[in-house]
């Protein structure tokens, strides 16, 4: 044989594709409320499917969370691209931040995945997808004079982390509290404010800081985890 045969995934049957969609939508609801402490069994039950069906589609809850996250990231990237079409650069930047944070602050499981608690490689992939569009939004606002010149894209990364921390601390009792603190941070991005006492992190430094923080979170999670969420014994 002179040509290399390339294996392609076989399309799912209609019923299998339907079950996969049911699991992903159920995971969206379950992980949003409980985070990744919920099990794949919990998701299957919420979807009205058998546990065996769930494990035929996903090896564990982290694989399911990853599939769900990939869809959400595409939505956030699309939101950034739409924000670039807004005539007013400041309004576009603010609209993107509010839209992306509304998704993240309402979804505990998504926050855990985005922080790379269970999959540091996935966190790096998310960073690669988001850094370019967000940088473009910021630079566009700076060129219009709406944002101070010494603001950096990594500043927006930390603002995002701050808002997610507010959601972790007070989201159950005050789900919109993050909007109060986002307004404070946005005011700090405007020209004419107090000079920053220290320089922003570079992109590589920001990546390192996130990786180190992830390492701490991963260690803490492993210390408190009940164990791997694998398939039940047969």
> What residues does CATH 1.10.10.60 cover in the chain?
12-59
The CATH homologous superfamily to which domain 12-59 belongs is Homeodomain-like (1.10.10.60)
Q: How many CB atoms lie within 10 A of CB 78?
A: 11
* pLDDT tens for the 234 residues of the chain, in order: 444 444 455 555 778 889 999 999 998 888 888 888 889 999 999 999 999 999 999 988 888 888 888 888 888 889 999 999 999 999 999 999 999 999 889 888 878 777 665 566 666 777 788 889 999 999 999 999 999 999 999 999 999 999 999 999 998 899 999 999 999 999 999 999 999 999 999 999 998 888 787 767 656 555 544 444 554 444
> Sign (positive/negative) of CA torsion 59, 62, 64, 69?
negative
CATH code given to domain 65-224: 1.10.357.10
Q: What DSSP assignment string belongs to 103-121?
A: HHHT-HHHHHHHTTSS-HH
HEC string of 164-216?
Answer: HHHHHHHCCCCCCHHHHHHHHHHHHHCCCCCCCCCCCCCHHHHHHHHHHHHHH
Q: Enter the pTM of the model.
A: 0.77
């Amino acid at each position: 044989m002179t040509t290399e045969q390339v294996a392609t995934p076989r399309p799912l049957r209609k019923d299998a594709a339907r079950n996969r969609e049911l699991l992903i939508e159920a995971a969206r609801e379950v992980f949003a409320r409980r985070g990744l402490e919920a099990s794949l069994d919990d998701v299957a039950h919420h979807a009205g499917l058998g546990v065996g069906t769930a494990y035929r589609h996903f090896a564990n809850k982290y694989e399911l969370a990853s599939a769900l996250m990939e869809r959400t990231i595409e939505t956030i990237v699309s939101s950034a691209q739409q924000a670039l079409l807004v005539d007013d650069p400041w309004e576009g930047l603010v609209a993107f931040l509010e839209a992306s944070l509304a998704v993240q602050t309402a979804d505990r499981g998504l926050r855990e995945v985005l922080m790379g608690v269970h999959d540091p490689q996935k966190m790096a992939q998310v960073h690669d997808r988001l850094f370019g569009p967000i940088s473009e939004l910021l630079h566009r606002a700076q060129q219009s004079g709406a944002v101070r010149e010494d603001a950096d894209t990594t500043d927006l990364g930390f603002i995002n982390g701050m808002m997610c921390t507010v959601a972790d601390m007070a989201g159950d009792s005050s789900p919109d509290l993050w909007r109060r603190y986002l307004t404070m941070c946005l005011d700090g991005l405007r020209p004419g404010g107090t000079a920053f006492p220290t320089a922003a992190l570079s992109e590589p430094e920001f990546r390192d800081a996130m990786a180190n923080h992830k390492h701490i979170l991963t260690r803490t999670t492993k210390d408190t985890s009940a164990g791997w969420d694998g398939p039940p014994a047969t």
